[in-house]
Amino acid sequence: MAQKITTDEKILNAFSKLLEENGYTETTTKKIAQAAGVNESTLFRHFKDKEQLVKELVQKYMSDIDTVNAGFIPSGDIVTDLMRVADLYNHFVEAHKALFLIGMRDSFQFPKLKEMIIQLPMKLKKILVFWMTEMKHSGEINGLVNIEITATNYITLILGHALIQNIYTDTGLDISQVDFVQKNVRDFAEHLK
């Protein structure tokens, strides 16, 4: 039942990997072809040009983003739920790391890209605001909490963490996702009670 890996996939995988490591411009078509184990010109038969490779990743990102809603089923417990959101974002970034990175690094070359990248945090913020409003009504969240600000804070926090995690690796400021969730997110959550 060996799953066949198509040339398209081989190329996209190689591209994605190199993108993470070296950024868009440094990821030459020659290197992609080499990493994918195909001829350089094959690459252009499969994807009209280098930019098309990015667009392909974006498409996947955008279609995946629609599934995020379904991934968040509130438990009613603040700590658990906030952790869930953090993990949701983290997993998504992990799964689309290459795109997340060039969304930062090469956004000037792909002006539309940053708008796509930011859609996930914005969607999560909406989810948070909706959920926090409910939690406030049910008394789980302290009545004095400013939801809009808190939600923004939380998103900024996990975005900052993703940044540290993926760019500033091994710099002394990075904490594992598990630790981050166990400690910092939990700490954040406590304040809302």
| 1-20 footprint of DNA as x/- string (CB under 7 A) | ------x-------------
- Which residues lie closer than 8 Å to 127 by C-beta, 6 or more apart? 68, 69, 72, 85
Least CB distance to a copy of itself at residue 119 (A):
9
Position 34 contacts DNA (CB under 7 A): no
CB atoms closer than 10 angstroms to residue 22 = 14
CB atoms closer than 10 angstroms to residue 119 = 14
Is the CB of residue 6 less than 8 Å from the CB of residue 42? no
Least CB distance to DNA at residue 114 (A):
21
Measuring CA to CA, which residue among 144, 148, 158 is closest to residue 188? 158
- Which residues lie closer than 8 Å to 11 by C-beta, 6 or more apart? 32, 33, 36, 38, 42, 43, 46, 47, 53
User: From a copy of itself, DNA, none, which one binds at residue 28 (CB under 5 to 8 Å depending on kind)?
Assistant: DNA
Site for DNA in 45-64 (CB under 7 A): 45-46, 48-51
- At 72, the amino acid letter reads F
Member of 13, 17, 31, 123 binding DNA (CB under 7 A): 31
Member of 35, 79, 88, 159 binding a copy of itself (CB under 8 A): 159
Least CB distance to a copy of itself at residue 15 (A):
15
Binding site for a copy of itself (CB under 8 A): 21-23, 25-26, 103-109, 114-115, 117-118, 121-122, 125, 146, 149-150, 152-153, 155-161, 163-164, 167-168, 171-173, 175, 183-184, 187-188, 191
